[in-house]
Amino acid sequence: TLNFLENVLVDIQQAELNLQRTWTTAVDLYRIITNLMKKLEQRLNDKYFGTVIEYINSHFEPEKNSTKHYQF
């Protein structure tokens, strides 16, 4: 869960900082919240959780890793 939070909190903090600006308008609020929701939904759909992917890849055999990078 810490890996998940480490990657998600960066996006949440960035959205929070954007919301705290003094010149933020209602249109900006909608854009900021919508973009945050889209980012989080995309990560769930892609099953991308940052360092978890690195951890999983580190347990593959080196031959398979190079094959996967080549195919990508």
User: Per-residue confidence of the chain (72 residues) as pLDDT tens digits?
Assistant: 676 677 788 899 999 999 999 998 999 999 999 999 999 898 888 776 566 666 666 777 666 555 555 554
pLDDT score at 33: 96
Helix, strand, or coil (residue 24): coil
Distance CA 23, CA 37 (A): 22
Domain encompassing residue 28: 2-71
Q: What are phi and psi of 36, to 5 degrees?
A: -65, -45
Tally of structural domains, the chain: 1
| Residue that is written with structure tokens 């949440």 in the block | 12
* Structure confidence at residue 58 (pLDDT): 73
